[in-house]
Structure 1
Amino acid sequence: MSDLHVRGPRETEAWRRRRVLGEAWERNLDDLVKDGIPIDLVCFTGDVADHGTSEEYRPATEFVEATLGRLHVPKERFFVVAGNHDIHRRTNQAAWKKLRSLLFDVPAIERSRWLQGGKTPRGVRDKHREQVLER
């Protein structure tokens, strides 16, 4: 699954979402189960939310839990890769701007390794990483 873009209380046209992800979606899932197609895991590859706010994740969680239940897939077999819309950009905005300027000249591979917990690039502090990852 991908690109749900739940807008929480900002959802103005819920009927559009229900048209695609309502009864027709549920029937498709039920047909997969009825056909005996084994579902071992479910992956969500980004953009569960639209602006990364907690209000968006409540309905998204309900949708995912209902989908997993219909497919008889336990939560332990549900995997998520965050997308760009899953980031709450107002959280630690100053830290993000500071980090961008500090890492401008750092090679991409060094940035990636540091974000994974590797060696801290010169002039950067680990607290910057932690603040940005809160987003």
Structure 2
Amino acid sequence: MLIAQLTDLHIAAGRRLAYRKVDTAGALEKAIDHVMALVPRPDVVLFTGDIGDLGTAEEYALVGEILAKLTIPYFMVPGNHDRRGPLRAAFPHATPVANGAGFVNYVVDDFPLRLIALDTLDEGRAGGILLPAQLDWLQRVLSDGTDRDCAIFMHHPPFRTGIAHMDAQNLGAGADELARIVAEHRDTIRAVFCGHIHRPIHTIWSGVPVMVGPSVAHQVALDLRADGPSAFVMEPPGLHLHVWDANAKSLTTHLSYIGRYDGPHPFFGPDGKLIV
């Protein structure tokens, strides 16, 4: 099973440039072309939040236009730049929760790896939150007796990355209880996929691998100083490709850069012969 993870699109209405510099709509178009050209093609695409920049219906309408070329099943969770109501209205198939549900929490059981969506949005705030009702829901899902291998996908990372201005707005309330639940079910939770930081970051948290995906548009500057300022950089955009091997019960993550770069070139030795 091949999972493509795209995150932090930050699409603005009217194709407005983010920070008066970044063409996020154009970046998403390139990302979708990249995904559709992959061989093998992914089985599913996960969008881990910040689909829009302000969370308006106009933004999501533009996202929908761009995603019309994406013929692969895809699912979404909101990020801190999103709003639940407009997001669900625009993408009901990608946020399959029951009518009247207060959060975008759901389970996708259509693939060899079970996918569990967690909504960490605290509307109006940059940091994330998981309320007791959501954590109870997660515990029930993980304890339903199926014992299926699964991956959780959400926006806010639950651990400190060392990028101070982003750590200040990571998952806050509920993080300790989430850690307890994940540790309890670490035999079936194969990974947690997050966004928010705009950089590829990996760690082991509560006994489970956590992968933060890079933004498809722009990156947060890598600055590990305690007083490092908030800043973005225009590094090569990318996405994560997660490979799930159900037989080996292993998950491998690859960073796939978006764009055209020189190569691939075959390797030749000093004697001019192809190295295999």
TM superposition score normalised by structure 1:
0.49
Higher strand content, 1 or 2? 2
Higher helix content, 1 or 2? 1
Task: Name the structure, 1 or 2, with higher relative contact order (CA <8 Å, separation 6+).
Answer: 1
